[in-house]
């Protein structure tokens, strides 16, 4: 069995506590094709949570401005298009047009002070990963 791939996304301290940050990455699918993969990483104290940056309502990115992911109270993720809000811990939509649906979670780990994505093959070329 192949070991799970692990990719460093950023330093843990790059994201202040109670903030969310977006990353535009590229994944390698089962056929070797590259496709864009936009994710949200939330830091809450010592915890980090990750979700695919895709609203279950219309499939758009949640942020209406770069790295604007939280609701006005700073306690839920919010979609900028129609205002659905999502619990941070579960990704479940608790208010708005996609109520009851969930964001797709991403496995993250903090290793040696770095936030890492686990179990997904990424394209390692920084130039393409940040576009």
Distance between alpha carbon 11 and the CA centroid of its chain, in Å? 15
Q: Which pair of tokens denotes residue 60? A: 């758009």
* Closer residue to ligand FES in complex, CB, 95/114: 95
Q: What mask, x for binding ligand FES by CB under 6 A, covers residues 34 to 73? A: ---------------------x-xx-x-------------
Taken in order 67, 71, 76, 80, the sign of the CA dihedral is: negative
Rounded least distance, CB 91 to ligand FES, Å? 13
Sequence-separated (6 or more) residues with CB below 8 Å from residue 80:
62, 63, 64, 65, 68
Q: If binding means CB under 6 A, how many residues of this protein chain bind ligand FES? A: 11
Residues of span 70-129 touching ligand FES by CB under 6 A: 79, 81-82, 84, 96-98
Sequence-separated (6 or more) residues with CB below 8 Å from residue 8:
111, 114, 115, 116
Rounded least distance, CB 59 to ligand FES, Å? 7
Q: Give the footprint of ligand FES on this chain (CB under 6 A).
A: 55, 57-58, 60, 79, 81-82, 84, 96-98
């Amino acid at each position: 069995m192949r070991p799970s791939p692990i990719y460093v996304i950023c330093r843990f301290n790059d994201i202040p506590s109670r903030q969310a940050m977006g990353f535009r990455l590229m994944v390698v699918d089962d056929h070797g094709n590259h496709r864009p993969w936009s994710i949200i990483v939330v830091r809450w104290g010592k915890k980090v949570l990750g979700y695919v940056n895709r609203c279950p309502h219309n499939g758009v990115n949640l942020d209406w401005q770069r790295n604007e992911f939280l609701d006005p109270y700073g306690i839920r993720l919010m979609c900028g298009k129609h205002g659905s809000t999502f619990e941070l811990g579960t990704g479940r939509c608790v208010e708005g047009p996609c109520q009851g649906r969930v964001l797709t979670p991403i496995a993250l780990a903090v290793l040696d002070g770095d936030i890492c994505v686990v179990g997904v093959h990424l394209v390692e070329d920084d130039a393409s990963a940040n576009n």
